[in-house]
Amino acid sequence: MSVSVLMYHQIGKFSPMKSHRSTYCHVKRFNVQMWYLNFFKYKIIKLDDVVEYLKKDKPLPKRAVVLTFDDGYKNFLEYAYPILKKYNFHAIVYLLSNLIGNKAIWFKKDNRDTPPLLSFDEVCFLKKQGIDFGSHGRNHRKLAEIPLSLAKEEIELSKKELEELFGFEFKHFCYPYGSLNKKVKTLVKNAGYVSGVSCFRGAVYRGCDLYEIPRKAISYGDNIVGFFWKLEVKNRLKRQ
């Protein structure tokens, strides 16, 4: 029994780009991908179900898929959400507590435009519609490469800030850039999160570390064949 946790970042109308392709998905392709999951009767489950499976061996449905969206871009509301709603699909979006209603300012170092992030009201609206939210830290830092005290702040304080701001629990964590090590994982666990999703690739199988959940990045270049390939074939764990 396995589950594919798909990783998306921005959904929208983008002209072909040369770099960071794995963080963009054209809305036309996203629409076809969601149609595909629905047509072939994949079961879109919650990350909570994966946690129950890994912790308590609670069975998963066949063809289980989790949809994750990193960074909390405003284009999630504009482009991804209407399509998810059409199929009644679950999704989890990872937010940065210090950048709610702000922009993806960490893009500046690559000289990229800084797309807007979801506002407080937009997150509240989406939560009411059944979208789940997790923490992605405070400022999008590489947690394994900064002082541990700062990593602790990113992990613990983001949970506190998000919960105080929105008034609901943030149980799941997502490591920015997939940057993690043993100490960072322990901080995430001790902060009270029940899971940590990484950028390691592959499917989730029994025995998988709850704080090192692998995902499958759906890239700008993935047509429907590529999507099928990632979904059904690329299951072996790759840490690089």
For residues 103 and 178, give the distance between their C-alpha atoms in angstroms, rounded to a whole number. Answer: 20
Closest distance of CB 110 from Zn ion, Å: 13
Nearest residue (CB) to Zn ion, 70 versus 222: 70
- Measured from the CB atom, the residue of 44 and 104 that comes closer to Zn ion is 104
From the list 71, 122, 154, 222, which residue makes contact with Zn ion (rule: CB under 5 A)? 71
Long-range contacts (CB closer than 8 Å, 24 or more residues apart) made by 111-116: 112/20, 115/10, 115/73, 115/74, 115/75, 116/73, 116/74
Of 23, 34, 60, 70, the one binding Zn ion (CB under 5 A) is 70
Cβ distance to Zn ion smaller for residue 134 or 176: 176
The burial class, CB within 10 Å (0-12 / 13-18 / 19+), for 95 is: buried
Select the residue whose beta carbon is closest to Zn ion and give its number: 70
| Residues in region 149-188 near Zn ion by CB under 5 A | 176
Q: Which span sits near Zn ion by CB under 5 A: 31-39, 40-48, 70-78, 188-196?
A: 70-78
C-alpha distance from residue 41 to each of 76, 87, 88, 165, 187 (Å): 23, 11, 13, 37, 38
Q: Which residues bind Zn ion (CB under 5 A)?
A: 70-71, 176
